[in-house]
Structure 1
Amino acid sequence: MQSITKRLGGLMKNRVYFLGLNFLSILLLFFTYRKMNQANKRYFFPLYLAFTGINYFFEFIVLVLTKAYEYDPKILKKQYFDNVFGATVSQLFVVPTTSLLMNLLNLNAKWPTLLSILMTGLDKFFVKQKVYKHFWWKTPFTTVGIQLFYVLAKFWTIQIIERKNKWFELMTVYFAVFVSYATMNFFHVALFKTCFFHINLYRNPYRSHVATSSVYSGISALIFMPVILYKKWYVTLLSMSLFISLETLFIRSRIITISSPPVFYSISFLTKLFSILIGNYVLRLLKGNTSSSTSTGSESRSF
């Protein structure tokens, strides 16, 4: 009885620490949006997704490819999916939120140092509480990594808001699509078991799936870009036809197994459609044209 109670206590402790931190991050996100300059509010969502996308790429290298550390929020049953859930939600809320806070509220130069110290303290605390585990990663890496990310986020913000840099706008749209597609792909597999990649890169099949799915999401986001930028019906048709053909080939080759064809193809179509819509919306925000049509037959504004 005591062992069961102890186990339940540990499970609840991890969930409370992890979800509590992310809940505070969401509150900070809303606070930042309310307090920021009205004229720059259209940049909030694009920058948020750009910062998240940068973090996703970093997490893919450090967490998935090299196994630097491991999260243990005890939310999902499958241990590796639980690990990735922890990483996904952290990179979706905690780090991007603090970057937005500093850059959009124009906080002074001491804040990056203060927030990196805070993040370092959280790193140590979570390791001690066994919510998070280091392998080759070291706490000082967190301090340096956060500082470097804040420098990059500041530079990115300047390129988007002040200089209207077209290449950074393009990369921001790409990150918006990638974050949307990769996040939805992870959750529909982890929660509903819709499909599974069978390319054995690692001993752990779930790690192999996440690695393959991440690369697939990154490539898919590139293919979506012409649909978003050119808004021609035949580009959309060609893109969707390519995906249907490719995924059908993967299924027949048993690279992907699916739980149910109707469910898989429906969710696959909806995730792609929603990702394209998010990309269109971010593009319109960056161009200051939030009222324009998202029709696939209309002309896009030139980069």
Structure 2
Amino acid sequence: MSSTFWTNTIWFFLLFVTSIITNVIIFHKTNNKKFCIAFLFSIIGLSFVFEAILVLGLNAYSYYPKLFRDSYLDIIFGNYFSQISISSTSLLLATFDLSYVWYGIFAIIYFIIDIIFVKLGIYEHFWYKSIYTIFGFILFSFLARKWYIIAKKSTNYFINYLSLYFCVASFSTFSIFLGQRLLGIQLLRSNIFFTDINRNNTSSGFIYQFIVLNYLIILYKSRLNWIVKTLALSCLYIAQYFAYRAGYIFIHKGLFFTVTSLDLLGCYCLIAVFNYLLSE
């Protein structure tokens, strides 16, 4: 086992363990487990957006869990551990309807964790300050609570749509897009936003995911018959093929249909599953 496991990785794993414990408590106590499972991923999806702005756009901080030799992939996984923890705690506050005193208590806990991680050298600030964590956590958790209350009872199309989008976006990132990246069978290429290739690929991934998921969600929720839906889905295959031929998407030779099917059909199935869970 690498020496960096005991100096870096273990702290992120411990953070993840606390997330698991938090969710076990939530799902043990809640009466609506299906909705909570789906809504957890909705919160995680929203946290990814904020994290992308801070890490990609504003270069606020960086993580060093030392899981991968690829430094940027390592940062992404550090981000996952962090955001899963914060999202799980936010869901705990919302589902248990805890008083605002608890928001302050957990904000201070994350503030202390932030300081400890910086001292350990497994997390680095550039312009970001630990004190920002207190305000950021309280604001994010307050937003998650309001969203939870509305989404739990609302029949509003827009609220339900947002919940479904962020839910599928986060889960597909873990299961499909990240899996393809780790296996090296699909990679988005662009030189539009940043000089750094990893930042370009990640930002392109967000845009690609935004377009594809919205297209698929609208298609799923539409009342079109299955023939029209199949034709509409085929258009995405064609669009992805043109992007592949133009060099914007790298797909391992001979795997275009397999990878694209996993991508598009996989996301479509996730939409169906999470739409069911959120409606419970």
Relative to structure 1, is the Cα distance of residues 259 and 102 closer, same or farther in structure 2, using a 3 angstrom cutoff? same
Of 223-232 and 166-175, deviating more is 223-232
Alpha-carbon contact 1:120-1:143 (below 8 Å) kept: yes
Alpha-carbon contact 2:60-2:125 (below 8 Å) kept: yes
Provide the C-alpha distance between the structure 2 equivalents of 1:253 and 1:162, rounded to a whole number of angstroms. 46
1:218 aligns with 2:210: yes
Relative to structure 1, is the Cα distance of residues 28 and 235 closer, same or farther in structure 2, using a 3 angstrom cutoff? farther
1:183 Cα offset (Å): 2.9
Alpha-carbon contact 1:42-1:286 (below 8 Å) kept: yes
Provide the C-alpha distance between the structure 2 equivalents of 1:126 and 1:265, rounded to a whole number of angstroms. 43
Q: Alignment RMSD, CA only?
A: 2.0
Alpha-carbon contact 2:154-2:160 (below 8 Å) kept: no
1:123-162 matched pairs, under 5 angstroms: 123-162=114-153
Provide the C-alpha distance between the structure 2 equivalents of 1:250 and 1:261, rounded to a whole number of angstroms. 16
1:1-303 matched pairs, under 5 angstroms: 8-36=2-30, 38=31, 40-91=32-83, 93-200=84-191, 201-230=193-222, 232-262=225-255, 264-288=256-280
* SS of structure 1 residue aligned to 2:68: coil
Q: For structure 1, list consecutive stretches of 5 or more residues without a partner in the other structure.
A: 289-303
* Alignment TM-score, normalising by the size of structure 2: 0.91
Alpha-carbon contact 2:8-2:66 (below 8 Å) kept: yes
1:178 Cα offset (Å): 1.6
1:257 Cα offset (Å): 2.2
- The answer for the alignment partner of 1:300 in structure 2 is none
Alpha-carbon contact 1:65-1:211 (below 8 Å) kept: no
1:66 Cα offset (Å): 1.9
Alpha-carbon contact 1:180-1:275 (below 8 Å) kept: no
Alpha-carbon contact 1:70-1:83 (below 8 Å) kept: yes
Alpha-carbon contact 1:72-1:82 (below 8 Å) kept: yes
Q: For structure 2, list consecutive stretches of 5 or more residues without a partner in the other structure.
A: none
Alpha-carbon contact 1:176-1:278 (below 8 Å) kept: no
Provide the C-alpha distance between the structure 2 equivalents of 1:205 and 1:106, rounded to a whole number of angstroms. 43
Alpha-carbon contact 2:91-2:145 (below 8 Å) kept: no
Of 240-249 and 149-158, deviating more is 240-249
Relative to structure 1, is the Cα distance of residues 11 and 204 closer, same or farther in structure 2, using a 3 angstrom cutoff? farther
* Alignment TM-score, normalising by the size of structure 1: 0.85
Q: How many residues align?
A: 278
Alpha-carbon contact 1:251-1:258 (below 8 Å) kept: yes
Alpha-carbon contact 2:45-2:170 (below 8 Å) kept: yes
Of 273-282 and 243-252, deviating more is 273-282
Alpha-carbon contact 1:73-1:131 (below 8 Å) kept: yes
1:241 Cα offset (Å): 1.6
Alpha-carbon contact 1:224-1:239 (below 8 Å) kept: no
Q: Percent identity?
A: 25
1:182 Cα offset (Å): 2.9
Deviations 1:101-154 (A, max 9, x none): 111122222111111111111111111111111112111221111110011011
Question: What letter is aligned with 2:28?
Answer: R
Alpha-carbon contact 2:110-2:134 (below 8 Å) kept: yes
Question: What letter is aligned with 2:241?
Answer: T
* SS of structure 1 residue aligned to 2:124: strand
Relative to structure 1, is the Cα distance of residues 98 and 198 closer, same or farther in structure 2, using a 3 angstrom cutoff? same
